[in-house]
Every structure is written in C-alpha cells, then in structure tokens.
Amino acid sequence: MAENMPTKIEEEPLPRMNAGTQLFEDLDANVSATEIESLCMRCEKNGLTKIMLTRIPHFKSIILMSFECPHCGLQNNEVQSGEALQEKGHRYEVKCTNKSDLSRQVVRNNSASVSIPEFEFTAPPATNSTLTTVEGLISRFIEDLSMDQEQRKEVVPEMYTVIEALLVKLRNALELPEEDGDEKSANAFTMVVDDPSGNSYVENLCVPNADPKLSIHYYRRTREQMIQLG
C-alpha cells in the first residue's frame, strides 16, 4: 500500500443507483481512479495502487484503495473515510433473520468494534477499515478464529473448546433461511457496529423508508474514546 497518498483526488460524478443495483462502484468499473506505483510489502518490488473517491448513497464519501503486485500476486483492498470525525459516535444494530440481511453492505471503520450479543462475541477495532457485507464480516471472524486452532488443541485445550463452540455459532449464522417464516430462525442474530468516530455504516434495505430491522443510536464520546481517536 502506498505510503504517500495524493493530497487531492478528482471526484467523478457517479450514476444514480436504483433499488437492486450494486451499492458501491467496483474499482474495475468504468469510473475514474488515480493509479500510482507503490512498494509491495511482500516482495519489495513495485505494484499498482488504485485510489478512488466515491459516495455511498444515503451515507457519505469514502476512499477505496486496491493494491495488486504483478510480481508475487499480493492483493489488498482497503477503505478509508473521506469525512472528518463526526460530532457524535454511531452505533448500528441490525437484526439478521434471512439471507438478504447477510448481504447488507457494511463500512467498518478501523475505530469500530463489532459484536454479536447472542454469541457473547465482540471483535475489537481493527487495523484497517473495510468495505464488506455482514456475511463478509462473519466469514473473516471465522477465518481469524480458526487460525492456530490445531495448536491450541494441543497446548491450551480449554481455549480450543471455547473457540470451537463460537465457530459453530458463527458458521450457523451464515445458514439463515431465504425468507422470514412464521417462526424466527434458530440461527438469527443481532450484529452491532459501534464506531466512536461516526464513520461506519450498515445498509438500510428499505430506503427511502425506515428499516424495521436496523436502528442507529448516536452518543457523545467519552474522554477515553477521544484519546483513542487522536
């Protein structure tokens, strides 16, 4: 990833999106992007970074960055907020009961924690911001938690058992029904994205109307949160 980002990126107007169309423009689509050579952290040869400033309907501007190295094949995609620190922190709570909820687009700023209360699971703020979906977040949690499980089984079997039980719940969470039925799915869950910076986002599937499964809470940051945000 490039260390020096251009101080100004020209923004191209994006086509109006209708219901059912892709929420975010693909970096490979016919949209203007700034391209710069940048050092690959794996092989230390030059790769290519694409940078594009775009807008999310009903949200705000974000910076999409995509890196690819033609020498070793390393690929990396990141997203950064194109906005300043918001006046208040935001906490999104979304009830996921069917497949369409798993497809909700999510911008997770690196200052945001993600939790699933039913599983007693919380992922702390991440190193990088990401542009993904509810399903993508859960899949990443499964991938991260699965690492070193075999080693834990031998060295710390108690921790292995606890993590394995959580992995079962996370995998089941991806097996939601296509549509809501008369009875709530046993795998239904609530995802909470809590971002003190106010620059994370969870898609409203009922725009321009209120989404009955999605709620947004605004709060004043604590002194500790202000220090963490710098």
- List b or e across 183-208, with b for residues whose CB sees 16 or more CB atoms inside 10 angstroms: eebebbbbbbbbbbbbbbbbbbbeee
Residuewise pLDDT in 10s, the chain (230 residues): 444 443 333 333 333 334 344 444 544 455 577 888 999 988 999 999 988 777 766 566 677 788 899 999 988 777 776 667 888 999 999 999 999 999 999 989 989 999 999 999 999 998 888 888 999 999 999 999 999 999 999 999 999 999 999 999 999 999 999 998 878 889 999 999 999 999 899 999 998 899 999 999 999 999 998 888 87
Contact yes or no for 185/97 (Cβ under 8 A): yes
Phi, psi of 137 (to 5 degrees): -65, -45
Tell me the pairing of strands 61-68 and 75-81.
Answer: antiparallel
Indicate yes or no: pTM above 0.95. Answer: no
List Cβ neighbours of 129 (8 Å cut-off, separation of 6 or more): 78, 79, 80, 81, 107, 108, 109, 110
What is the pLDDT, as a whole number, of residue 3? 42
